[in-house]
Structure 1
Amino acid sequence: MSDKQAFCEAVTDLIEQNITDRSERINAVEALTDAYVDSTGNLPDSAQLERLADYLLKEELTDNFADKVTQTDYPFFSDRQLDRRYKKEATAKAAEYIGTDGKNHRVGKRRKRSKWETDYVNKNAKIRNDERKAQYKRDTAPGIVSTYYIDA
């Protein structure tokens, strides 16, 4: 068994011990990493060091309180909490258009009509055009010619 595999198993065993006191956890992690460095002369694998760091910060990472920032000075966020935080943040681009009143003050842009809407408008316009054309023809048609004789 290689040193890396043995260290991986030792990390797993240490995490399974589930030590509740933080100072005891720190001492156990330091002892484990120092023993590995003394025996191999190399630093442990980064993935194992990350597992140990997560184990040391167990209380902070398992705290599901959504507003950690107001409760602690330097909060630690899990990946899920960071994702949730990033989703709530507004982009700098939004600051150009969104006012302090929360309204969007961007210049309006017309939307394109759908094919159905365009056909509907055109159909009604043609009907109105026919009505207008008929009325115009009636209004401009010559009237009956009347002849008047004036007796003098």
Structure 2
Amino acid sequence: MAAMKGASAYARVGVESGVISASPHQLIVMLFDGAKASIRAARIHIEAGNITQKGKSISKALEIVNGGLAAALDAERGGEVAQNLASLYDYIARLLLSANRHNEVAKLDEAEQLLDDIASAWREIDPQAQAAGG
């Protein structure tokens, strides 16, 4: 048990260190990764019949999508792209809510795929990679 607590603390410090040293672009990538990890955990909990943990995992994914990704959008500077992403994040949130309500793995799959598609595009526009010539 002590080893588990130690590993958990180590992981937390690693995440916190990553956040502190991350660029704004990297922070968004971390949000995508966190949302997808929460969705994967929710899928596992649905399949295992662990409804309480499924709800917690979906709530975490919703918090990341709504409170992180959607909240980070700049409608003024982002224009139509930001509006389209806001609509997409809203749709993803509705998928997650439906998956939670009806234990629908297919809705989780769709939400994860959409997040993966957006994350892939986001990674391709990494300003640091472009500045470095890559």
Larger Cα-atom Rg: 1
Q: Which structure shows the bigger proportion of residues in helix conformation?
A: 2
TM-score using structure 2 length? 0.29
Structure having greater relative contact order (Cα 8 Å, sep ≥ 6): 2
TM-score using structure 1 length? 0.26
